[in-house]
Amino acid sequence: MNYITIVACPICSKKIIWSKFNKWRPFCSKRCQLIDLGGWLHEEKN
């Protein structure tokens, strides 16, 4: 039996399917991925 795992993007909370085919996971898009990276680069995150 196959189950689909749905997760929320950590930046915008959009619901996405957790899949190896989602190249931005755990984010919903490249935009959210870059927002997260920017936070790390500006030391806003630990």
Task: Pick out the residues of the known binding site.
Answer: 9, 12, 28, 32
**Residue numbers belonging to the annotated binding site for Zn(2+):** 9, 12, 28, 32
Token pair 């909370």 in the structure block, residue: 13
Residue by residue, DSSP assigns 6-33 as: EEE-TTT--EEE--TT-TTTTSSSHHHH
Tokens of 24: 């931005």
